[in-house]
């Protein structure tokens, strides 16, 4: 009865526990199986004749915080045709020295943001074994849906400094990882896709990089191109920061340090500031007309972005661009020129509300994965690890 409970606890089909040896760092469990009729792999005839026994040491899942080994007494059968063969075990793959559930455990551990070395140490296997298991996992690209988002990330793989990520921004999953972000490579990739699938795409989200937009209009003619909100809002932030830096050059050292250390008062939305911070911000803005105008334009643009009515946003955006162009501030003139060039795609962002936020979230996960792995040069392995971890 006790042996039955131990066998049930071990949860391996068709085995009997004969003996258990404990040590400080490991655990050895001696197991056997019941002799059964076997099918000869050569002539496919039945046989019960046992030729000999051999012991095999098999690695299993950690047990009681110790490395666990199964010492299996394996039978070798003999057929009338002269063939000698081992019996098959449901928990042990052919030519393997670890259980199938240990392999599955390692594959599941690779979904976490941990290094291959950490998985190997936890599973009592070598680094190369974990790598081989990772190489057996394969992900094909997902089919196109009605929306796609594209962005690049610094992967430093063998294929180049930057890799490309394609995401479904509505369903929140990665569709594919590409080895390069160049226009020629992306064109070849999209050209291989089914034309009808490409024409079903309704939304294409990207940053303010012209090759992405050109690809969208070429290969997704029915899609609305949307610029990610973060990428055009930061141009306003850059503009007011450059105004502050320009004005600081004419200040005294003490005042320059104060403006630099208090720049968050200017960058933060005015209504979010506390009363004492509002007074400090007002004093800072009194120093220079350009800084005061820049702060007004910044607050106005943020109000446009947070407005819920598209008709108002459309009207206010072009009014903002005109005011920025006529402000006499070179930093905001440059920002206004950028917005006028991308006005169609920016208005699409206001109208449909899709962003690259999901993509940026995946990019952060990829950065963590790359950091803990100290870089993954093999692109296919890197791609598999990303899709296995993030999806």
**What rounded mean pLDDT belongs to the chain?**
94
pLDDT band at 13 (very low <50, low <70, confident <90, very high): confident
Same domain as 288, residue 254: yes
DSSP string over 148-196: EEEEEEEEEETTEEEEEEEEETTTTEEEEEES---HHHHHHHHHTS-HH
Same structural domain, 302 and 363: no
**Given pLDDT bands bounded at 50, 70 and 90, which one contains residue 163?**
very high
Confidence of residue 2 (pLDDT cuts 50, 70, 90): low
Higher-confidence position of 2 and 29:
29
**Model confidence at 246: pLDDT above 70:** yes
Check pLDDT > 80 for residue 175.
yes
> pLDDT for 287-308, tens place per residue?
999 999 999 999 999 999 999 9
Do residues 196 and 307 share a domain?
no
3-class SS of residue 356: coil
Confidence of residue 226 (pLDDT cuts 50, 70, 90): very high
Q: Are residues 345 and 367 in the same domain?
A: no
The stretch 276-283 carries a mean pLDDT of 96
Instruction: Examine the domain organization and report whether 260 and 365 are in the same domain.
Output: no
Quick count: other Cβ atoms within 10 Å of Cβ 334?
Answer: 15
Domain-located, residue 192 = yes
Mean pLDDT of 104-133: 95
Question: How confident is the model over 135-146, as a mean pLDDT?
Answer: 93
Question: Residue 107 domain-assigned?
Answer: no
pLDDT exceeds 90 at position 16: no
19 and 30 part of one domain: yes
Say if residue 200 is in the same domain as residue 272: no
Whether 105 is in a domain gets the answer no
Angle formed at CA 32 by CA 26 and CA 34, multiple of 5 degrees = 160
One domain, residues 339 and 271: yes
Residue 6 has pLDDT above 80, yes or no: no
The whole-angstrom separation of Cα 242 and Cα 240 is 5
Q: Is residue 115 a part of any domain in this protein?
A: no
pLDDT band at 391 (very low <50, low <70, confident <90, very high): confident
Residues 66 and 22 in one domain: yes
214 and 161, same structural domain? yes
Residue-wise pLDDT for 102-115, tens only, equals: 999 999 999 999 99
Residue 177 domain-assigned?
A: yes
CA 331 to mean position of chain CA atoms: 35
Q: Do 347 and 235 reside in the same domain of the chain? A: yes
Number of domains making up the chain:
3
Mean pLDDT (whole number) for 337-347 = 97
The Cα angle at residue 383 between residues 159 and 376, in degrees rounded to 5? 65
- Pair 181, 280 in one domain: no
pLDDT at residue 187 greater than cutoff 80? yes
Question: What range defines the domain where residue 205 resides?
Answer: 147-228+355-390
Instruction: Report pLDDT for 42.
Output: 92
Report the predicted TM-score, pTM, of the whole model to 2 decimal places. Answer: 0.87
Structural domain contains residue 122: no
Statement: residue 261 has pLDDT above 60: yes
Q: Is residue 323 assigned to a domain?
A: yes
Mean local confidence (pLDDT), 175-187: 94
Q: Give the domain CATH number at 201.
A: 3.30.420.10
- Say yes or no to pLDDT of 137 above 90: yes
104 occurs within a structural domain: no
């Amino acid at each position: 009865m006790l042996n039955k409970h131990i066998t049930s606890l071990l949860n391996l089909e068709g085995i009997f526990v004969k003996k258990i040896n404990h040590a400080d760092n490991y655990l050895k469990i001696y197991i056997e199986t019941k002799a059964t009729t076997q099918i000869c792999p050569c002539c496919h005839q039945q046989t019960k004749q046992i030729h000999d026994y051999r012991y095999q040491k098999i690695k299993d899942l950690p047990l009681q915080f110790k490395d666990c080994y199964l010492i299996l007494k394996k039978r070798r059968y003999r057929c009338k045709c002269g063939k000698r063969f081992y019996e098959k075990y449901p928990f042990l793959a052919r030519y393997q020295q670890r259980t199938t559930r240990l392999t599955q455990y390692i594959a599941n551990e690779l979904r976490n943001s941990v290094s291959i070395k950490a998985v190997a140490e936890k599973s009592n296997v070598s680094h190369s074994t974990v790598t081989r298991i990772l190489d057996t996992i394969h992900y094909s690209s997902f089919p196109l849906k009605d929306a796609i988002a594209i962005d690049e990330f610094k992967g430093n793989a063998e294929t180049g400094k930057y890799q490309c990520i394609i995401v479904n921004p509505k369903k929140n999953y990665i569709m594919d990882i590409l080895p390069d972000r160049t226009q020629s490579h992306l064109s070849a990739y999209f050209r291989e896709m089914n034309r009808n699938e490409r024409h079903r795409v309704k939304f294409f989200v990207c940053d303010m990089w012209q090759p992405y937009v050109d690809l969208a209009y070429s290969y997704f003619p029915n899609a609305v191109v949307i610029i990610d909100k973060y990428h055009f809002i930061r141009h306003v932030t850059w503009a007011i920061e450059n105004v502050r830096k320009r004005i600081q050059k004419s200040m005294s050292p003490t005042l320059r340090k104060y403006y630099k250390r208090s720049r968050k008062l200017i960058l933060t939305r005015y209504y979010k500031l506390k009363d004492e911070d509002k007074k400090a911000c007002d004093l800072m803005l009194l120093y220079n007309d350009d800084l005061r105008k820049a702060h007004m334009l910044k607050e106005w643009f943020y109000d446009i972005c947070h407005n819920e009515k598209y008709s108002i946003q459309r009207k206010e955006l072009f009014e903002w661009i005109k005011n920025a162009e006529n402000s006499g501030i070179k930093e905001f003139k440059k920002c206004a020129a950028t917005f006028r060039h991308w006005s169609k795609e920016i208005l699409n962002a206001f109208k449909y509300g899709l962003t690259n936020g999901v993509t940026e979230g995946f990019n952060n996960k990829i950065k963590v994965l790359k950091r803990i792995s100290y870089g993954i040069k093999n692109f296919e392995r890197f791609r598999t690890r990303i899709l296995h971890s993030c999806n």
